[in-house]
Amino acid sequence: MKIMITGGAGFIGSNLVKYLIQETDASCVVIDKLTYAGNLDSLADVADHPHFQFEKIDIVCPQAVEETITRNKPDALMHLAAESHVDRSIDAPAEFIQSNIVGTFQLLTAARKYYNQLPDDRKSRFRFLHVSTDEVYGSLNMSDPAFSESTPYAPHSPYSASKAAADHLVRAWHDTYRLPVVITNCSNNYGPCQFPEKLIPLVILKAIHGEPIPIYGNGQNIRDWLHVVDHARALYAVLTKGRIGETYNIGANNEISNIELVEQICGILDQQIPIDQNPRFSNDQKNSIETYRDLITMVADRPGHDLRYAIDAAKIETELGWRAEKDFADSLIETVGWYLENENWWSRMLSNDQLKRRGMLPCD
C-alpha cells in the first residue's frame, strides 16, 4: 500500500510515518509545507528507507496538490496537515482558515478527481482518512459523559471551529460525491517530537531552564492524554479496517487536570535531573528552589478555554479491536526522558525567530 500523508513532518505525522514504515509493509509519500512545527529531523530514522519519500508541498495550492497526487498514485491519503495551536488561532485566525478549511477543500477536490479516474479494483481499495480533534465537540462539565461519535459539534476557538468545518467538508464529499472517507477525532497527544509550544514539552523545557512554568487559570482544566504511538496504531486500524463514511473517536481514558499533570512532570524531573545537578541553574537558583514545582506560575486564563475533554473510544475498540496500550505513568516518564536526551532536536526548533518574538504560552 502506498499512502500519501499530509503534515507528515509534524508531531503526529512523523510518528505515524515511522510506525507505518517500521511496523507495516506500507510505503509513505510525505507532503508537508514545513512551517515552524514541521521538522525533517523528526523523520531522520526513516529518511533513507526505500519506502519513504518526501515532497515539500503547500496543500492550499491546488495545482501542486493535484500534480503530486496524480504523479504518486497513492492507494490511500491520510490528511493530518493542520494549524493546531489554540493560542495561535486566537492571535491569527486567518492562517487556520486557510490551512484547515481551504487546504482540506483543495485536498478533497484533488482526491475526488484522482479517485474518479481510478480503475474499479483500485477504487474499491482507496481511502481518504481525515484526522481531526476532540475539540470540535466543545467542552464538557465535570459530570458529563465522554464525547462519542454522535456528540453534537460545539467548537469554541478559531482552531476547533476550523477543524469542525473541515470535518463537515469531508463528510459532504462522501455524501455528495461518494468519496470513500473515514474521519477520526482524537484526544490530546503526547510523546517524542512534539513542538515545544504544547503543554508537556513546554513544561519540561521551561523547568530545566529555571523559567516560570505558566499554567492557565486555576489549572483545573482536564484533558484525556493519548500516546502518539497508540494514535498511529489507531489510524492504521481505521485506514485498513474502518467502515467508509464512519467516524471513530480515539482516546486512552487518561483524564488528568493540567495542574496535576504539570506537578507529575516536575516530580519526574526532580528524579531525572535534580536541581542541584542541573547545569543550567545558577548557584542562587539551586539554593532558592527545592523542586521544579516551585517554578509553577498561574497566568490569566485564555479566552474560551474549554473545561474538560474526554473520549469514549468504545466504537473503535469494539469494531476494530484497537485499544491504547501505553501506560500513561510509564510513558510520561519516557517522554520527559526523550526531551532531556534530545536537546539537538528541540534547540533547533526553538531557534525559530517567529517563536522567539512571540514567546510561548501553554496550549493543552
Task: Give catalytic residues, as residue numbers.
Answer: 134-135, 159
Q: What distances in angstroms separate CA 160 from CA 40, 193, 203, 329, one per listed residue?
A: 26, 22, 23, 28
Handedness of CA 131, 135, 136, 141 (dihedral sign): positive
Q: What distances in angstroms separate CA 316 from CA 27, 140, 215, 234, 237, one per listed residue?
A: 24, 21, 33, 8, 9
Q: Pairing mode, if any, of strands 52-56 and 188-190? A: unpaired
Which of 118, 121, 131 shows the shortest CA–CA distance to 73?
Answer: 118
Which of 108, 106, 100 shows the shortest CA–CA distance to 132?
Answer: 100
φ, ψ of residue 8 to 5 degrees: the values are -75, -5
Put the strands of the sheet holding 188-190 in their side by side order.
188-190, 222-227, 255-257
